[in-house]
């Protein structure tokens, strides 16, 4: 599906990720600091280490690995709606899957059917932007989080100034699109990435969205890397 159509039909996004699942890890490895930024967001959640965490839109498990570092005695459920991306994730964590520390589930993040109040924490890296309805997605997350549970949204969310938009456009069209298309043989999902970031919420708007949906102590922070103007983690706590 063409990138412009994907923006209006985001439920089709996981199918596009099927096409690039095998090259995804290499492409993100070439994106300097990708894993370090995920680790920084996971650390910012200040977990105690024994939580049951949902890694929503877990992809090939890069975000799962970042969370695993923070959970020496906890468990992780990874959810994604792309069979290809989950296949890669399953390959990486065979030991943890065997011991029950990690499990992966093929599911639409807009239709989570976990029980109410069943997770201590939710980590969503590069996921919210792909949801067809941000408000409905956050309401669904709120339902399955325990009171006092933590939510971290880690995403390309541009500062509200023209510099951040120009920075992203140059980076996207000048580097990400040509390089990743060459790596994966598919331009669609990367063109969609550029366009979806340009139309996504700012850190302030994500903060408001969480506050309007029952989260408190919401903090938006940039990352201390070259992604500073364009990448943020927004963390909030479900009101008790």
Query: Which stretches of the chain bind ligand SAM, using CB under 6 A?
Result: 13-14, 17, 38, 57-59, 62-63, 80-82, 85, 108-110, 125-127, 130
Taking the complex as a whole, how short is the minimal distance between the CB of residue 233 and ligand SAM, in angstroms? 12
Separation of alpha carbons 152 and 226, rounded Å: 21
Nearer to ligand SAM, 59 or 74 (CB): 59
Nearer to ligand SAM, 34 or 167 (CB): 34
Nearer to ligand SAM, 217 or 224 (CB): 224
Three-class SS state of 103: strand
> C-alpha distances in angstroms, 20 versus 65, 85, 171?
20, 8, 20
Nearer to ligand SAM, 200 or 211 (CB): 200
Nearer to ligand SAM, 127 or 149 (CB): 127
State phi, psi for 71 to the nearest 5 degrees. -130, 65
Separation of alpha carbons 27 and 183, rounded Å: 7
DSSP strand E in 67-144: where? 75-80, 102-106, 119-125
Taking the complex as a whole, how short is the minimal distance between the CB of residue 20 and ligand SAM, in angstroms? 9
Using CB atoms, what's the residue nearest to ligand SAM? 59
> C-alpha distances in angstroms, 45 versus 12, 42, 62, 198, 203?
30, 6, 17, 26, 17
Q: Which residues contact 44 (CB under 8 A, 6 or more apart)?
A: 152, 221, 233, 235
Taking the complex as a whole, how short is the minimal distance between the CB of residue 28 and ligand SAM, in angstroms? 6
Taking the complex as a whole, how short is the minimal distance between the CB of residue 40 and ligand SAM, in angstroms? 13
Taking the complex as a whole, how short is the minimal distance between the CB of residue 132 and ligand SAM, in angstroms? 8
């Amino acid at each position: 599906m063409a990138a412009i159509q994907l923006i209006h039909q985001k439920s089709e996004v996981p199918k596009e990720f099927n096409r690039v699942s095998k090259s995804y890890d290499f492409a993100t490895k070439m994106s300097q600091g990708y894993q370090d930024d995920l680790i920084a967001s996971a650390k910012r959640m200040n977990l105690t280490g024994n939580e049951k965490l949902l890694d929503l839109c877990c992809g090939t498990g890069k975000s799962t690995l970042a969370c695993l570092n923070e959970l020496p005695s906890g468990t992780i459920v990874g959810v994604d709606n792309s069979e290809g991306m989950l296949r890669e994730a399953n390959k990486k964590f065979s030991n943890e899957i065997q011991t029950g520390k990690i499990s992966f589930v093929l599911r639409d993040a807009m239709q989570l059917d976990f029980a109410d109040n069943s997770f201590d924490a939710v980590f969503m890296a590069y996921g919210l932007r792909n949801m067809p309805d941000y408000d409905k997605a956050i309401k669904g997350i709120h339902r399955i989080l325990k009171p006092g549970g933590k939510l971290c949204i880690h995403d390309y969310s541009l500062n509200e100034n023209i510099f951040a938009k120009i920075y992203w456009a140059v980076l996207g069209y000048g580097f990400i699109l040509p390089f990743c298309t060459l790596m994966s043989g598919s331009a669609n999902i990367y063109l969609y990435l550029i366009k979806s970031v340009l139309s996504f919420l700012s850190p302030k708007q994500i903060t408001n969205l969480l506050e309007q949906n029952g989260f408190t102590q919401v903090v938006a922070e940039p990352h201390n890397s070259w992604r500073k103007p364009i990448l943020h983690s927004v963390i909030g706590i479900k009101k008790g």
